[in-house]
Amino acid sequence: MPVGLASGGHGQRLWHDLTERVEFTDIELRYLANACFTLDRIAKMRKAIGNELLVKGSQGQKVAHPLLRELRADERHFADLMARIDLPDQFAQEQPQTQGERSAQMRAVAGSRWGNAY
């Protein structure tokens, strides 16, 4: 896991969720690490913005919260990074309930990704 991710944050959860179920290339791991840091930043910005989408501008007028632009950019960056990672179609399926079902799903994911029959 990359050093510096927010402890218990969205980035750590994403890292664990994906790396426990999919084997990635080195470049995909770099994309994933960057996506995890981006996801942590997104969570911090959303917390900072809260319900305050409009703030008072320099002339007293209502303007968009200054973090909204950064938030949109980071959300776009996150989506771009995730699109570069080759995730199997089965990854979107609901999580299995038993260890045996999970093992079977993992074999299917590995087989679809690498073309191996396990």
Q: What residue segments make up the domains of the chain, in order of their start?
A: 10-87
For residue range 52-72, what is the model confidence (pLDDT) as tens digits? 999 999 999 999 999 999 999
Beta bridge partners of 54: 64
Query: Which residue is it, tokens 């909204």?
Result: 68
- Model confidence pTM above 0.85: no
Report phi then psi at 54, rounded to 5: -120, 140
For residue range 34-53, what is the model confidence (pLDDT) as tens digits? 999 999 999 999 999 999 99
